[in-house]
Amino acid sequence: MQIDTPHRNTLLDSFGRQVNYIRLSITDRCDFRCQYCMSENMTFLPRDEVLSLEECARIVKIFVSMGVTKVRITGGEPLVRKNALWLFKEIGNLEGLNELVTTTNGSQLEHQAESLKAAGVKRINISLDSLNHERFKKITRVGDLNKVLRGITAAKAAGFKNIKINTVLMHGINEDETLDLLNFAISQNIDIAYIEEMPLGVVDHERQASYVSNVSTLNLIQKHYSLFQSTENSGGPAKYWRVSNTETKIGFISPHSHNFCESCNRIRISCKGELFLCLGQNDMVELMPLLRAYPRDDEPLIHAILESMKVKPKGHDFDLSRPSQSVVRFMSYTGG
Ligand code: SAM
Ligand code: SF4
């Protein structure tokens, strides 16, 4: 079936923003249970409701043919998905794709970093919320800090550049490690991004009480370091600062204290094949029925993707004081 659709090589939404970046969650499962991301007792999707790796590869190929140049493989924990490496290899060298990147909790990197590099992964973000072993276990509920630290070492040894630590600071939990984590990043010659906690899914603590504003994080860091604002832009929502006389860049991802929606260039695909047009809104288009109904015809999918651009919202409206209006999806489901 050939549907007459103009501009099929460019994804433009109704606000004139070009979408060239997709984040694909390849599993909602994870070997950690981070307090801000999941509740202690999670129910995961049955396997047949999750995109197969072949379906993931097909989706990515279609998006790349429509002008997407950057793909982030995420989850859940992407590296716990069986045969995830097959997918990385399958899309690592796609013509037209400039950047294949991934976000991981680092628990599997010790053994997978080299293969990921060989598969064509350009950059890795690794979540790290504490350098204190006991506290790390408490935040992740099950994680082993040593494994993650060995994972960071392995990623560096494999030749990854611009490795970035992702840190979610929480008041009364790890806020006092703001500078320790930055010092660690500096000592490792890697970057760090502070992410404000977002009200995604219902967790076991009061998010308003744990919220730490990036404005206060920046103020604290500036008391101890000379920073200069960087014009660098990874195509993402982070605002970057460089730490003088170091290799380290600090990113601030501030959905509450700074709204970055006007330059949004991304969409997310959940592990169930739902195309979410905004992390903080519920607008979505289901791709799974089309994938399965038309296994050899991409046109219905292309048409649905083009149509989805009409409903990409202007922006999110995260508000921690309105828990009833939180997005009900966990970040692990939509893909962080
Ligand atoms: N498991 C991988 C990891 O932890 O890096 C990838 C998926 S995780 C959902 C991606 C990122 O989302 C992590 O850096 C995590 O810290 C962040 N994240 C998860 N839930 C969040 C929330 N409610 N608010 C802000 N960031 C969150
Ligand atoms: Fe797992 Fe990442 Fe969520 Fe932590 S943040 S529970 S590592 S998906």
Confidence of residue 207 (pLDDT cuts 50, 70, 90): confident
pTM for this model (two decimals) = 0.92
CA of 195 to the centre of ligand 1 (A): 9
User: Beta 239-243 vs 249-253: how paired, if at all?
Assistant: antiparallel
Pocket test for ligand 1, best of 31, 127, 206, 211 (most atoms within 8 A of CB): 127
Task: Tell me the best of 35, 112, 168, 170 to mutate to test the pocket of ligand 1, counting ligand atoms within 8 Å of each CB and taking the most.
Answer: 168
Please write the tens of the pLDDT for every residue from 97-125.
Answer: 999 999 999 999 999 999 999 999 999 99
CA gap 95, 156 in Å, rounded: 26
Residue 3, pLDDT > 70, answer: no
Query: Residue type for 313, please?
Result: P
Q: Give the contacts of 249 (CB within 8 A, at least 6 positions apart).
A: 191, 192, 230, 232, 240, 241, 242, 243
Measured from the Cα of 199, ligand 1's closest atom is 23
Higher confidence at residue 170 or residue 313?
170
DSSP 112: H
**Nearest residue to 124 via CA among 82, 153, 86:** 153
Whether the predicted pLDDT of 323 surpasses 90: no
User: Does ligand 1 have an atom closer than 6 angstroms to the CB of 56?
Assistant: no
Top CATH class, 5-334: alpha beta
**Which residues, 6+ apart, have CB-to-CB distance to 61 below 8 Å?**
91, 94
More confident residue, 17 or 59: 59
Cα separation, 112 vs 191, in Å, equals: 21
Dihedral sign, CA of 218, 247, 100, 12? positive
At 140 the pLDDT is 97
Compute the mean pLDDT over every residue in the chain, rounded to the nearest whole number: 89
Half-sphere exposure of 68 (CA within 13 A, CB side): 26
Backbone angles phi, psi at 35, to 5 degrees: -60, -35
> How far is it, in rounded angstroms, from Cα 32 to Cα 163?
21
CA angle 275, 194, 323 (to 5 degrees): 60
Q: Where are the domains of the chain?
A: 5-334
pLDDT at 159: 98
